[in-house]
């Protein structure tokens, strides 16, 4: 498909599509900005990998999710890799008390989460090894399905004011300040 260069140079707020105009009314961004210019994006794979590590870390932070305690010696199906506790519930940030959410994202909370194993750092190290060794996607996907496994009786995502407002972490002795 050939796209006229004048169209790519125009701003999104000037687009023919009403949806685009409404969505980007306050921007001077061009369509080209959203598509890239075709030049190689150095470091893009590293940025994507860093984003994955952030998602993994958040999945171990009580303000974002609640995990079951890992079972000692359990391994991910089809691998020899240690199995983290399954996700029991997801937390919705938008309706939480943001200060209390921040307490669960604090350095102290992170250190406390290191008591369980495998934890966010253990998982990150394994993923970094796979990334550095350029493991095939099939191996990485198998492990990620295990890392992000949801317990059968997982709760629906909720604001969690009832959970985060109490500041009592159900799986650890951690007490937010």
DSSP sequence for 106-144 = SHHHHHHHTTSSS-HHHHHHHHHHHHHTT--HHHHHHHH
Pick the residue with more confidence: 146 or 102? 146
Together in a domain, 102 and 28: no
Q: Are residues 23 and 84 in the same domain?
A: no
Asked which of 44-53, 68-77, 79-88, 162-171 is least confident by mean pLDDT, the reply is 162-171
Domain with 50, as residue range(s), is 44-164
Clarify whether residues 64 and 141 are in a common domain: yes
Per-residue pLDDT of 115-131, as tens digits, reads 788 999 999 999 999 99
Q: What is the pLDDT of residue 18?
A: 72
């Amino acid at each position: 498909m050939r796209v006229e260069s004048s169209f790519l140079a125009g701003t999104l707020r000037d687009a023919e599509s009403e949806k685009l105009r409404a969505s980007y009314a306050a921007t001077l961004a061009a369509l080209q900005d959203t598509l890239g210019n075709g030049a190689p994006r150095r470091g893009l794979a590293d940025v994507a990998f860093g984003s994955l590590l952030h998602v993994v870390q958040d999945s171990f932070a009580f303000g974002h999710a609640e995990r079951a305690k890992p079972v000692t010696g359990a391994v991910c199906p089809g691998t020899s890799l240690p199995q983290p506790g399954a996700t029991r519930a997801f937390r919705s940030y938008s309706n939480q008390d943001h200060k209390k959410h921040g307490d669960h994202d604090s350095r102290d909370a992170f250190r406390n989460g290191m008591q369980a194993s495998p934890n966010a750092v253990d998982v990150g190290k394994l993923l970094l090894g796979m990334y550095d060794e350029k493991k095939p996607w099939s191996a990485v996907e198998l492990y990620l399905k295990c890392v992000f496994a949801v317990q059968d009786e997982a709760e629906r995502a909720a604001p969690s004011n009832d959970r985060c407002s109490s500041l009592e972490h159900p799986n650890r002795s951690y007490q937010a300040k």
